[in-house]
Amino acid sequence: MDYEGIPTMRTISLENYDPKMPGNSNLGLFGVPQTFENAKVCVIPVPFEVTVSYQSGTASAPRAILEESAQLDLAHPHLLGAWKFSPFLIEENKQISLLNSKFRRRAARHIKMLEQAKPYSRSNLAEINKACHDVCSIVRAETRRIVEHGKIPGVLGGDHSTPLGAILALADKHEDFGILHIDAHMDLRVAYEGFEYSHASVMYNASRFGNVKKILQIGVRDFSEDELSYANNSEKISYITSETIARNKIDGKSFAKIIEKEIDKLPQKVYISFDIDGLDLPYCRGTGTPVPGGLSYEEAIYLIDLIWQSGRQIIGFDLCEVAPEKDSIIDASIGARILFRLSTAAFISLKNRR
């Protein structure tokens, strides 16, 4: 019998769930007993970080963010009863973490050889690329399944290579969409370190899909001359560096003024790719390639909401490169909050569907 009428874990469902109860991540993302059938937004966990070039740790993000997500209070400034529209977390595909643990060390060895200018094994590199390709295929298939059910997919990485399969699946479905890319990096490198599916190449790879019509990068501040020249020579790619944002603000322009004109360049359908290092360092201390400068948390939320507020539809999103620190819950907590705002924004944007 239930203790004093409180439903036990097994009997808690969306019907009898009480958002005032203490959060429990065993019930689901954000502590809500969401179901696949009911959810309009589904999150695919991708604990994969084989191509990370500097600090590792982001493969543990899906688990840490799930645990931390139950601590959030879910009142939302634009959505009454937001908890009911909370996303459903798809069950993790075990193949992904198997491939991650098998190939992470082999990739690290490859990077070490490159750094020491020593000859590297071509077959090792080919096998790493094959593993990354396999993960891309898994994410693509999962995304396709979600999209076929009329739901919005979100990828929870892992490093920034992980959403490529989702962008591919969305490009299979939508003829014309843009990407809002929040990041410290342009990720426009061609097969960085020999990795065809590198985290540092994801926007280069996405820019080659015909149905991706526009990529708008915000907060970028750490890039190579090759990436800059690729961006400058591509009609698809626009960017606002965090330095430009900061200078404009110093000159007395508002963040809204700087951003709005650029958002207008995006098509009606938008995919949001959110690398946590697009935020300033205090918000992502554990992340793989930290860079000072960047957006504040509120500026990022403003940007996310501007997509639906401008009449656009969010067809999918990802959150990558969150790397929870050992003795701190802060990175995972911020990640969970960004994930909640991304998924609620996607849900709200359904009203703009055409």
How do the residues of the chain divide into helix, strand and coil, expressed in percent and rounded to 5? 45, 15, 40
Going by their DSSP bridges, the two strands 41-46 and 88-89 should be labelled as parallel
What's the rounded Cα separation, in Å, for the pair 194 and 6? 56
Given the complex with Mn ion, which of 185 and 213 has the nearer CB atom? 185
Given the complex with Mn ion, which of 144 and 185 has the nearer CB atom? 185
Given the complex with Mn ion, which of 39 and 300 has the nearer CB atom? 300
User: In the bound complex, what is the minimum distance in angstroms from residue 352's beta carbon to Mn ion?
Assistant: 28
- Alpha carbons within 13 angstroms on the beta-carbon side of residue 124 total 17
What's the rounded Cα separation, in Å, for the pair 88 and 334? 19
Within residues 249-278, the interface with Mn ion by CB under 5 A covers: 275, 277
**181 part of the interface to Mn ion, by CB under 5 A:** no
Q: Which stretch binds Mn ion (CB under 5 A): 35-43, 100-108, 177-185, 340-348?
A: 177-185
Per residue in 31-48, is it b (16+ CB within 10 Å) or e — as a string? bbbbeeeebbbbbbbbbb
Residue closest to Mn ion when measured from CB atoms: 185
Given the complex with Mn ion, which of 29 and 202 has the nearer CB atom? 202
Residue 159 corresponds to which amino acid? D
User: In the bound complex, what is the minimum distance in angstroms from residue 324's beta carbon to Mn ion?
Assistant: 17
Q: Which stretch binds Mn ion (CB under 5 A): 32-40, 180-188, 249-257, 266-274?
A: 180-188
What's the rounded Cα separation, in Å, for the pair 91 and 46? 10
User: In the bound complex, what is the minimum distance in angstroms from residue 325's beta carbon to Mn ion?
Assistant: 17
Given the complex with Mn ion, which of 47 and 87 has the nearer CB atom? 47
Q: Which stretch binds Mn ion (CB under 5 A): 44-52, 175-183, 202-210, 254-262?
A: 175-183
User: In the bound complex, what is the minimum distance in angstroms from residue 223's beta carbon to Mn ion?
Assistant: 10
Q: Are 50 and 192 in contact (CB under 8 A)?
A: no
**318 part of the interface to Mn ion, by CB under 5 A:** no
User: In the bound complex, what is the minimum distance in angstroms from residue 186's beta carbon to Mn ion?
Assistant: 9
Given the complex with Mn ion, which of 68 and 275 has the nearer CB atom? 275
Q: Which stretch binds Mn ion (CB under 5 A): 10-18, 45-53, 76-84, 183-191?
A: 183-191
* Residue spans of beta strands (DSSP E) within the chain: 41-46, 88-89, 152-157, 177-182, 212-220, 237-241, 269-275, 313-320
How many other CB atoms are found less than 10 A from the CB of residue 266? 22
User: In the bound complex, what is the minimum distance in angstroms from residue 222's beta carbon to Mn ion?
Assistant: 8
- Please give the radius of gyration of the chain, using alpha carbons only, rounded to the nearest integer: 20
Which residues, in sequence order, are CB contacts of 215 under 8 Å at separation 6+? 178, 179, 181, 203, 206, 207, 236, 237, 238
User: In the bound complex, what is the minimum distance in angstroms from residue 269's beta carbon to Mn ion?
Assistant: 24
Within residues 274-313, the interface with Mn ion by CB under 5 A covers: 275, 277
Instruction: Tell me which residue has tokens 């507020």.
Output: 309
User: In the bound complex, what is the minimum distance in angstroms from residue 163's beta carbon to Mn ion?
Assistant: 12
Total residues contacting Mn ion by CB under 5 A comes to 5
User: In the bound complex, what is the minimum distance in angstroms from residue 248's beta carbon to Mn ion?
Assistant: 22
**183 part of the interface to Mn ion, by CB under 5 A:** yes
Given the complex with Mn ion, which of 52 and 72 has the nearer CB atom? 52
What's the rounded Cα separation, in Å, for the pair 158 and 274? 12
Q: Which of 140, 151, 181, 185 binds Mn ion (CB under 5 A)?
A: 185
> Given the rule CB under 5 A, which residues bind Mn ion?
183-185, 275, 277
